[in-house]
Amino acid sequence: AEPQEEPAPEDADTDFSDPLAPGPAVQRGISDRRLGYASRLPRQASIRQEVKRICPIQEVRTGSASLADGTYLFVVMVADPQNMRLIHEDDLVVEGVFAGHSSLVERLEFRRRWNTHWDVADADADFRHTVLYAGELCYEEGIGVTSWNNRSGHYQPGSAAHIRVGLDEATFEPVDSD
């Protein structure tokens, strides 16, 4: 049986993918203030699609995601909690452009015209709450995630919320004290 899609919460903001884009139409993003994290900083540079990976969390956990060994930045989106978006540490600086966690979030998921509305004092209220969790992880093909954390300057997820991510709790290394 096909899984039933749950309706978005009443205070959720939903966007849909570009109908002219190739491939199937999919839900682009859901913002849920009660569940998601909003960026506390301006969005970082976009990254080329070939360096951004989207993988099922279970495959990353078990080492079957066909990823290069190393350290990755990751985000898990509110709208897609079974998958994570990753970028390898070797791809963080390309052609003088520095990428980070917010680079893994599409512009429309981050905020439309964010630069015309950016106000540090009101960042939490203005920016979309589309990221379920963010951090760093160490990955070894055939083994999986050997360690992971909640280090993200943009999203600053609490360590207690790490249970939102389907990775092994025993390999979680918190970077804050909540």
Along the 178 residues of the chain, how does pLDDT read in single tens digits?
A: 433 333 333 334 433 333 333 333 334 457 777 788 888 888 787 778 888 999 999 999 999 999 999 999 999 999 899 999 999 999 998 777 788 898 898 876 765 444 554 455 544 454 578 899 999 999 999 999 999 999 998 899 999 999 999 999 999 999 975 5
Backbone φ, ψ for residue 80 (5° rounding): -145, 65
Strand order in the sheet with 144-148: 53-56, 80-88, 70-77, 131-140, 144-148
Residue of 105, 84, 106, 115 lying closest to 154 (CA atoms): 105
131-140/97-98 β-pairing:
unpaired
